[in-house]
Amino acid sequence: MSKNPEFVKFDKVDKSYDGKVLVVKDLQLDIAEGEFITMLGPSGSGKTTCLMMLAGFETPTHGEILLDGNIISNIPPHKRGIGMVFQNYALFPHMTVYENLAFPLRVRKVEKDEIDKKVDKALSMVSLNGFETRMPAQLSGGQQQRVAVARALVFDPAVVLMDEPLGALDKNLRESMQYEIKHIHESIGVTVVYVTHDQSEALTMSNRIAVFNDGKVQQLSDPAELYEKPVNSFVAEFIGENNTFNGEVTDIDKDKCKVKLANSEILANPISVKSKGEKTTVSLRPERALINPKDKMDNMFTGKIEEVIYHGDHTRVRLNLLGSSEFILKVPNSTSNLELKVSQDIKIGWNSLDARALDPK
Amino acid sequence: MSSETKQILTTDGIPLEVSLKKAEKKNKIKAFLLVAPLLLFLIITYIFPIGDMFMRSVDDKMVTNMLPKTFKAMEKWENLDELPPEEVYRGFYEDYKLLAENQQHGKLGQRLNKEKNGFNTITKKLFRQIKRNKIDESASIKEQINKIHKRWRNVEYWQAIKRTAPPYTMAKYLKGMDMYFAADGSIAQVDEDRRIHRILWLRTLEIAFFVTLFCFFMGYPIAHLLATLPMKYSNLLMICVLLPFWTSLLVRTASWMILLQQQGLVNDFFVMIGLVGDDNRPEMMYNKVGTYVAMTQILLPFMVLPLYSVMKTISPSLMRAGKSLGGTPFVAFWKVYFPLTIPGIGAGCLLVFILAIGYYITPALVGGASGTLISNQIAFHMKTTLDWSFASAMGLMLLSGVLVIYWIYNKLVGVDNIKLG
């Protein structure tokens, strides 16, 4: 079966609640069949609104949403056949786990034997066999979450929407649930649209990530590219950690540009700057800057250590470098770098390819 | 480990259990002292009056105290189908003489007359004989009294006196259900055309039931709207619900009288839109319609508020979940939302029903003859006939009715499921 690359399609979708402010602006987004796509963004960026429009609880102010080639804007939620996992699970508190899972099947008038079979299968998928007669209140947060996932999948929907489903769980449980959801997705191949504001969650789970800000998709790409090659300073800032330098382009080449800072000059990779005199923000990942690099690097500076924070697997070093005391270094822990001391001067180097000159902040 | 079976000691060597009790004791005393004023208040204002009401409703000591010697002698009266022996007559004569001296004989006559018609005449005759000193105490009192009036020779009258001997009676309760103790002591029904109380009890239940039903059907959507509307509208709506609640009951009832009377606004409106003819205006007051309309409006907040407090806690995402899982809006409502509101429905219905069953002012003002309830009858006996013991008996019957309803509700739904807020 060939996968439809435009299984879900947002076609020029606008959404406004009050007629004054657009929460979603001219959204153009294609989601392939079987894909795990994450909508990532700060709160108020429009990502949940997009999900609600897809689920049918909100209608687009302009534009169309297509599911498998059919316009669904006028189809009510219960006829869309889209599974949904809610932020607070939304399990029916007066029904047992079995009844919760049977609900979507019963409203579809599935036979009793078939319901039993499907509920059993869905429960074993989230390893909750034997919990059929429990009430939701008798389950832990993680178990409730699994039931919610199983319930959204039990009627074999074409698309499953997840609205920050792991937000209420503690850190360890959240991480194990991330893998579990990812494995479920891989094993049954359902299309998943996942909404979160947690970037590490997005990076771990998704095939592709759409970063939302201000009602617009800022960047749509796979996790590695998103992290390594952010296209603007919002994405660079939002995903992972980031050292920034604000300056002005003084010289520009095909893959190199000179950026003049307050009292020095660095070499950077021109991404969104085109010509001399443009203002820019240069973004550099903390792990791309090395202490006393053995190879020749085209940016070499000396900084003074302001703070050393031990993190177990790595050490964070805050430096005063090029007039800013907010420069962060991530140093993997090995015996060689244990002698880092506050107010010590060290040599730092990075390649201009990793320093991305983006739009000014 | 052996220490598991041993008694656990604190570091001071006191057994842990003793130490715990000591520590808890202070808290228990504190807690009791905190509730003590309320307990005292409840005892004085609630338990004690109800106890007094009960005593009053079963009290029948008057005759017992007036005829002590008679009832003592009656213990020896064995064959109740024949006239009592001489001692009973003598005892009655002596008791009556004492009452006559104290001017109490009239009360006895009235009381006995209630028990059996005709007593008033024959006790008055006896009184006159005593006053004129016509009774010779050395001769047989039985013969002399029997001569005064033929009724004294009728055993039924002596049986009636004997029936008044016990200091307590359930007669008032029987009367409340249109029943009475017949001459032979068995329970009998009042003649059909005089059964007023049973009609009132049934009407009270009927009106309370329908008022509860109307309140439910009107209150449910209001409460739902209150719980789901955005804050600025729901506050306004809340005030609309509460404003009548804050207005005096009398004022609200009076305004219903203005609205519902034959020349009132509602009738004017009906005539204006041509629903009824001007010369054919329907009676909407001084009957059941008036009672239904006014009581439903007045009791509505008691339905809306508990429903609202329950609906407020139901997450809107549950309905969404129901719909996204394939349920039509109706299925999502009926299978998901409605079951979750049952605690509120239970609380609201119980509250409205219990309040309606004892409602007084509104039916008194707009009810007329066919719209009055049992509480109006109680008030009638409190204020007009001054038969307080009967009023008490009916009040207690009403109270036990409410307790029975509460018990049934507990069996059906479970009181733990009630949520008032």
Query: Over the stretch B22-53, which tens digit does the pLDDT of each residue have?
Result: 888 988 999 999 999 999 999 999 889 889 88
pLDDT of residue B3: 47
Distance CA A57, CA B137 (A): 102
Question: What does the pLDDT average to over B178-193?
Answer: 79
Of A295-304, B169-178, B200-209, B409-418, minimum mean pLDDT range: B409-418
Are residues A82 and B324, on separate chains, in Cβ contact within 8 Å?
A: yes
- Shortest distance, CA B330 to any CA of chain A (angstroms): 11
Question: What does the pLDDT average to over A274-279?
Answer: 78
Residue B2 lies in a domain: no
- Shortest distance, CA B241 to any CA of chain A (angstroms): 29
Regarding whether B214 and B101 lie in a shared domain, the answer is no
User: Is residue B210 predicted with pLDDT exceeding 90?
Assistant: yes
pLDDT in tens, A304-318: 888 888 888 888 888
User: Is residue A134 predicted with pLDDT exceeding 50?
Assistant: yes
Domains of chain A: 8-233 (3.40.50.300), 241-358 (2.40.50.140)
Regarding whether B35 and B14 lie in a shared domain, the answer is yes
Sign, Cα dihedral of A38, A41, A42, A48 = negative
Regarding whether B160 and B241 lie in a shared domain, the answer is no
Number of cross-chain residue pairs from A and B with Cβ atoms under 8 Å apart: 68
The percentage of residues in chain B with a pLDDT greater than 70, rounded to a whole number, is 96
Q: Which domain holds residue B138?
A: 61-167
Top residue of A18, A75, A86, A155 to mutate, by most chain B CBs within 10 Å, is A86
Domain termination residue (choose one: B39, B58, B77): B58
The CATH number of residue B343's host domain is 1.10.3720.10
Question: What does the pLDDT average to over A276-304?
Answer: 81
User: Is residue B276 predicted with pLDDT exceeding 60?
Assistant: yes
User: Is residue A323 predicted with pLDDT exceeding 80?
Assistant: no
Number of domains in chain B: 3
User: Is residue A1 predicted with pLDDT exceeding 60?
Assistant: no
Regarding whether B213 and B77 lie in a shared domain, the answer is no
Residue B192 lies in a domain: no
Reported ipTM: 0.79
Distance CA A104, CA B347 (A): 31
Domain termination residue (choose one: B167, B185, B219): B167
Residues of A within 8 A of B344 (CB-CB) are none
Residue B399 lies in a domain: yes
Regarding whether B354 and B238 lie in a shared domain, the answer is yes
H helices of B261-373, in order, are 265-272, 288-311, 316-324, 329-331, 338-357, 361-366
pLDDT in tens, A186-204: 888 889 999 988 888 888 8
- Asked whether A178 and A217 are in contact (CB, 8 A), the reply is no
Residues of B within 8 A of A76 (CB-CB) are 323, 329
Residues of B within 8 A of A144 (CB-CB) are none
Residue B179 lies in a domain: no
pLDDT in tens, A20-60: 888 888 888 888 888 899 998 888 888 888 888 888 888 88
Enter the tokens of residue A136: 């939701």
Of the candidates A76, A88, A104, which has its C-beta nearest B325's C-beta? A104
Residue B183 lies in a domain: no
Residues of B within 8 A of A104 (CB-CB) are 325-327
Crossing angle of helices A112-125 and A141-153, rounded to 10°: 130
Regarding whether B271 and B385 lie in a shared domain, the answer is yes
Question: What does the pLDDT average to over A81-105?
Answer: 90
Residue B25 lies in a domain: yes
Question: Could you tell me the pTM of the whole model?
Answer: 0.77
Sorting pLDDT into bands at 50, 70 and 90, what band is B2? very low
What average pLDDT does chain A have?
85
Of the candidates A57, A94, A108, which has its C-beta nearest B339's C-beta? A94
The reply to whether A88 touches chain B by the CB within 8 Å rule is: yes
Are residues B332 and A92, on separate chains, in Cβ contact within 8 Å?
A: no
Residues of B within 8 A of A107 (CB-CB) are 325-328, 331
Residues of A within 8 A of B315 (CB-CB) are 88, 90
The reply to whether B236 touches chain A by the CB within 8 Å rule is: no
The reply to whether A32 touches chain B by the CB within 8 Å rule is: no
The reply to whether A317 touches chain B by the CB within 8 Å rule is: no
Regarding whether B411 and B393 lie in a shared domain, the answer is yes
Regarding whether B333 and B238 lie in a shared domain, the answer is yes
Regarding whether B377 and B243 lie in a shared domain, the answer is yes
Sorting pLDDT into bands at 50, 70 and 90, what band is B183? low
> What is the tally of helices (H) and strands (E) in chain A?
8, 20
Residue B1 lies in a domain: no
Interface of B with A in 303-362 (CB under 8 A): 315, 317-318, 320-329, 331-332, 335-336, 339-340
pLDDT in tens, A248-272: 888 777 777 878 887 787 888 877 7
Regarding whether B389 and B361 lie in a shared domain, the answer is yes
| Between B182 and A57, the higher pLDDT residue | A57
pLDDT of residue A289: 81
Residues of A within 8 A of B328 (CB-CB) are 78, 107
Regarding whether B126 and B259 lie in a shared domain, the answer is no
Q: Output the CA–CA distances (angstroms, integers) from residue B2 to B6, B7, B8, B12, B13, in the order listed.
A: 7, 10, 11, 20, 18
- Of B390, B399, B309, B393, residue with least CA distance to B354: B399
- Of B198, B150, B162, B164, residue with least CA distance to B178: B198
Residues of A within 8 A of B324 (CB-CB) are 55-57, 77-78, 80, 82-84, 161
Top residue of A17, A48, A78, A155 to mutate, by most chain B CBs within 10 Å, is A78
pLDDT in tens, A101-115: 999 999 888 889 999
Residue B190 lies in a domain: no
Sign, Cα dihedral of B371, B377, B380, B382 = negative
